[in-house]
Amino acid sequence: MNLIISKQLKEMFVDKAMVFFLIVSILIGGIAAPVIKKDYFMVTVATISFLLIVQLAPSLFTEEKENKTLETLLSTPISMKSIYRGKTLFCFLTCGCVLCLSMSIGVSISYIKYYEFVYSLLELLMICVLLLLGVYNASKQAVYYSLLSDDSRSCSLKVIVTTLLYIVLADVIAVPINIDFTKRMILRGVYLVIQLIIGIVYWIKTRKYMDKAVIFLSFRL
């Protein structure tokens, strides 16, 4: 699994467009957003993190099939489960790091510039954890769709549709709204339940079809 993560990281950093997108994402989410409108910068950070998944999705499996490199990968001693988990973890770690780094920079700038922040530190940490859970689930779905898609365009379209749902859910817990603490906690509890359900559903789906994945791919390649 570590080999898969290393492989994906090398390919990502070789891609100048992707590196540029990563840098711009952190600059916009971590610096520009809190300066322009500090109360909503967390929504911007979350949105950018989920959009990054859309950028990464085709490179996970679809481009491997298009470039005929997946055959070589499947011929190695690495199991299909390890390949799948490695690509999922790569996607999650990349987007999660962008989320956490942007949020850390943004919060620091907010305190330096405004001497306050819209949420308490406890709420901030809670939102960060919930958003990371969403990023993890979105990463799993991106890998799943990348595995099933025949071309990069169809993969991106499928991932965009699901990503929009995650962005809407993220807005619910990240946008500061004028309701009391208890109601905010209820909203976050609902978000947590939804994410857990999504996680369980995709765990079952991948577990069910993983053993057939190599056969499935052999017909697609």
- Of all residues in the chain, the percent with pLDDT exceeding 70 is 85
Task: Tell me which DSSP letter residue 32 carries.
Answer: I
Note if the pTM is more than 0.75. yes
User: In which domain, by residue range, is 71 found?
Assistant: 2-220
**What was the pLDDT predicted at 213?**
54
Contacts of 56 (CB under 8 A, 6+ apart): 12, 18, 91, 94, 95, 142
**Mean pLDDT (whole number) for 105-123:** 72
pLDDT score, position 6: 84
C-alpha separations of 54 from 27, 41, 65, 118, 164 in Å: 19, 20, 18, 29, 10
pLDDT above 90 coverage of the chain, percent: 9
Cα separation, 203 vs 217, in Å, equals 20
* pLDDT at position 94 over 80: yes
H helix intervals, 61-79: 62-66, 70-74
More confident residue, 198 or 219: 198
Q: What is the pLDDT of residues 130-179, one digit of tens each?
A: 999 999 999 988 888 888 777 788 888 888 888 888 888 888 777 666 66
Candidate ranges 43-47, 59-63, 97-101, 215-219; pick with highest mean pLDDT = 97-101
Give the per-residue pLDDT at 218: 46
CB 54 within 8 A of CB 94: no
- pLDDT score for 135: 92
Q: Which residues touch 158 (CB under 8 Å, ≥6 apart)?
A: 145, 149
| Residue at token pair 């990281």 | 9
Number of domains in the chain: 1
With a cut of 90, say whether residue 92 has pLDDT above it.
Answer: yes
Give residue 97's pLDDT.
Answer: 92
